[in-house]
Structure 1
């Protein structure tokens, strides 16, 4: 079977630095930090007081009150992003073969806040008084289901639940699904809304979150003083299309997706393999899948969580795959601005990677101060750069050992 070409024609995002893809990208270009004191609950008495929350999101701008009432915040984010991506692509479902259009949207935790509130309700009023909407609102796949209902897309509808790699797996799986002939268009991405007491407490107790009080020294990937990640929330959505399908309707093209690799460390519940070999294999697979060689890659949007193990392991993995070229390419972490959006991270970072290619701009790793000998690559410290690039990669590495890498290419007609 001939491999069909797959392009990105629509983008949508709700992030800690913006309520649209373009607003979020401009903030990233400007080096804006979305980390601030937690407002969604009172963290008094807890060790962690900072998060990267979505600010000013009003569901009424995207849906009716009854619709919003029966959607978790993570689903609301996904619906908002899907509407933006379809509008951005000028994609009219009424003009499409809906059986050839699908949805893949990841979520690592789903409606955790709903579980928390309904658990409280059940304990107080009795378990049979839990909301009948609790299950359909809270399950991880409901964002994908609601987006399919919104768009009318009747093809494959799925939800990768692969922790922090979920958004990347969603985009990669959608890419392969179109490339191999099973669909012509796919809405894909990830969504998360887990800035809750239980999530913050759980991540804190396992010592994954930074306890820094200064937003400028909280999410500091590759910095020697990094002490854990900052929990973020948000969503990212991409509309992928088979090239001829996109060209036939005169679509604008942001970038081409050319390669995808997915592996598992098979090593530990939370820690990556110290040598980064699992992540390295995912990157190597993405290169091979895209018919590219290491020297082709100009930029990597790193997983870059600001944890001791991840940043050092990912740096080691890049050196394994790219050899001496690792010191010539740029590798930054936009989590320095957005925090870690878990299942949404890979999708939002795929958007930023596509826009890096489209605009010829490398986003910075902001608030970088103290170099770490174990993380000695060009992390684009503090200031972004206007540089024309041809190939770019986006990495995601999740709890459970899940690794995913996407390879994109600047669109060339």
Structure 2
């Protein structure tokens, strides 16, 4: 859930501080006030989760000096300056230094609310981008996102940890929607290059001439962006849709790889999205390039091979969407659990995300079923019965594990509450949790 944005109000006049704070609080903002710039600087760090509204004329450190300090700490922090009548030169100077905007006294409160809304939207975007960058550089967080206890997911995590420590080029393949780009991020984040550049290029997003320039240059004097090969030097260059490279560009890429020698100065991670039944990545790119890129290889498993991971993922996703939409997550019946387990999932995790969101939305409206969502995605799919595909015992156990997991999560690990809701004696609950690898400490 996104963190609530704050508004720091800095003004030496108490009445002004209070009136601004009260008005913005009525508009739904979380405000805090400071009588001086010096006091505010003790709180306003580089990742302050909000914006600043400050008077320009204050005793001690004035608004311009204060703004310079704030911009030095965090140049993306939105600061709205309040100026007196006739202080246009100071307002211009503030904008030059980096102020988000300014208000001239006496100002319209509605105008202030409008500016505050724009500034908080901009700040939230900045904070979200920073959080994403931190997440994508944090190997432990990325590995947690690769959810699942199925053998194929255990193997995938082991492969990422092993190959992350290696230094050769890597080929990642698998069906669409399986999370290949996340695996590439994880490979970079758990390895020795974690603090270096990570550059991702989609080869299918460019015409050949533009792709050649983006990958290899040359750079014109007016260009501000280095070619990807230079930009990623010392780090990782990820090439999505590697099969889209023309023969000419394949030859140039091979030449670059050969020039680097061993160990590679820049690690290349190639991602293949080959979908044709009768063709593979080996058939598409030249053999010498293939063998250089596929010295290390990871195949991301399709969702249909991940067993009860499907229920775990569906539960987590539906809880996230329910929180986002402000409603309860849909309860999955035994029949629906079987349908989720037996669906073919041609769109893999990406399709499951879509189904989970739609399930939350239709549950909020009080209509629809998970089966109807699966059928609407694949009209030719026949209704799924629990006796097909796997022994009934496996479906029952998968549903039982999901039910205990969901109930433990909802009650935050309260054994007594779970026993009461599921009508289970403590010993039986303990035995089933041990059987399914569920630990109370994970829910506290």
TM-score calculated relative to the size of structure 2? 0.21
**When you count strand as a share of all residues, which structure comes out higher?**
1
By relative contact order (CA 8 Å, sep 6+), the higher-ranking structure is: 1
Larger-Rg structure: 2
TM-score calculated relative to the size of structure 1? 0.22
